[in-house]
Amino acid sequence: MSDLSHVLPPEDETLAKPARTIRDVARRAGVSIGTASKALNASGRLAADTRARVLLAAEEIEYRPNNLAQSLHRARSMTVGILSNDSFGRFTIPIVAALERRLFDDGIAVFMCNATDDPQREQRHVDQLLRKRVDGLVVTSRRADVRAEVVPAVRGLPVVYVFARIENPDALCLLPDDEGGAGLAVEHLVRLGRRRIAHITGPERFEAVRLREKGWRSALAAAGLAARDGDYRSGRWSEEWGREAARSLFMRRAQPPDALFRGNDQIARGALDALGEFGFAPPDDVAVVGFDNWDVMTAAARPPLTSVDMNLDALGSEAGASLLKMMAGRRLSGAKRLPCSLVVRDSCGAGLRNGIKKR
């Protein structure tokens, strides 16, 4: 037979190379196939150096797992749905960003759907997410009030409500501690020597408003103080309301407040503007604390605004961690309120004291 090697094209080494398997990864890393599988799937408990060794071995031999086969084997799609009605994104964006980071560490991608406030649109999104066979669902909102339950439409699927609440004790709801956050603000003002602490806030139909008022009153009582007549004002979530309420609190009063705790930063910003117009100089004449720690408001205020931070990133991270536990078979339920923190700036005149960080 004649030698045809000189006329045949050279063999394509890339095409000829056999597909690498998890056995090859395990052999190169010096571990069992089970350990290699745990490391590659971000599951189980492994030492950090072992997991890193397996991942490095997989990279060195150019191992490419069959994601479809993996998901079918585990009956998991490695995706999670996020359902929100917060089109503005003031509260949802920090929560979702932290949630996505937490899930990404475990190899899970997210689909986010905005339902506005339309129940039919929301149900359509849920149906679409189910058709994608998501492994779990996170429901979030622009406010932490009670909302309709999603669970009946997705029975058996792990669901976490974050910055949203339903009236079902079997559901897991993660929320900021509004009452505790208000207490932090008032306690701080009391430590600064303030005794006439007024509260201006938003509409009372919001649960957060009612909880923050409760925290304000409880903290005053704990300090041996009482809310004076007229020192509580409920109105709109706006700078205009902050200016209007400040006018009613400070004009024509023999003893105006020496401190203001505001229900949100917009109201506080409006109040700061008005106080200067009335001849009061914050923080010397009156200390001011807001709520939400919204940098758009706090940094632009004059003086920069001390504010309660709801720690939305911690809420998002906790939601991701909780969902992973539920996807692994854990049963989690109940309403869990995560602590707020106080970010001290110049509007309360505190400086750096009492172990509270000033920004």
Tokens 């559901």 map to which residue? 171
CATH topology of domain 178-309+342-348: Rossmann fold (3.40.50)
Region 190-205: mean pLDDT is 96
How far apart (Å, rounded) are the C-alpha atoms in residues 198 and 225?
12
pLDDT in tens, 94-146: 999 999 999 998 889 999 998 887 888 888 888 888 888 899 999 998 888 88
Mean pLDDT confidence for 66-94: 72
pTM, 2 dp: 0.75
Residue in 25, 186, 37, 192 with CA at minimum distance from that of residue 107: 37
Instruction: Look at the alpha carbons of 339, 286, 298, 245 in this order and tell me if their dihedral is positive or negative.
Output: positive
Query: What are residue 291's DSSP bridge partners?
Result: 308
Distance CA 118, CA 81 (A): 18
**What pLDDT score was predicted for residue 42?**
64
List, by residue range, all CATH 3.40.50.2300 domains of the chain: 77-176+312-339, 178-309+342-348
Q: Please tell me the class of the 77-176+312-339 domain.
A: alpha beta
At residue 162 the predicted structure's pLDDT band, cuts being 50, 70 and 90, is: very high
Indicate where the chain has its CATH 1.10.260.40 domain(s): 13-65
Quote the tokens at residue 161: 């409500």
pLDDT for residue 123: 86
Q: How confident is the model at residue 153 (pLDDT cuts 50, 70, 90)?
A: low
Report the topology of domain 13-65. 434 Repressor (Amino-terminal Domain) (1.10.260)
The pLDDT value recorded for residue 219 is 98
Per-residue 3-state assignment (H helix, E strand, C coil) for the chain: CCCCCCCCCCCCHHHHCCCCCHHHHHHHHCCCHHHHHHHHCCCCCCCHHHHHHHHHHHHHCCCCCCHHHHHHHHCCCCEEEEEECCCCCCCHHHHHHHHHHHHHCCCCEEEEEECCCCHHHHHHHHHHHHHCCCCCEEEECCCCCECCCCHHHHCCCCEEEECCECCCCCCEEEEECHHHHHHHHHHHHHHCCCCCEEEEECCCCCHHHHHHHHHHHHHHHHCCCCCCCCCEEECCCCHHHHHHHHHHHHCCCCCCCCEEEECCHHHHHHHHHHHHHCCCCCCCCCEEEEECCCHHHHCCCCCCCEEEECCHHHHHHHHHHHHHHHHCCCCCCEEEEECCEEEECHHHCCCCECCECEC
Place of tokens 């509270």: 356
Whether residue 155 has pLDDT greater than 80? no
Which two three-digit tokens encode residue 330? Answer: 């854990």
pLDDT tier for residue 73 given thresholds of 50, 70 and 90: very low
Mean pLDDT of all residues belonging to the chain: 86
Burial class (CB within 10 angstroms; exposed 0-12, middle 13-18, buried 19+) of 332:
middle
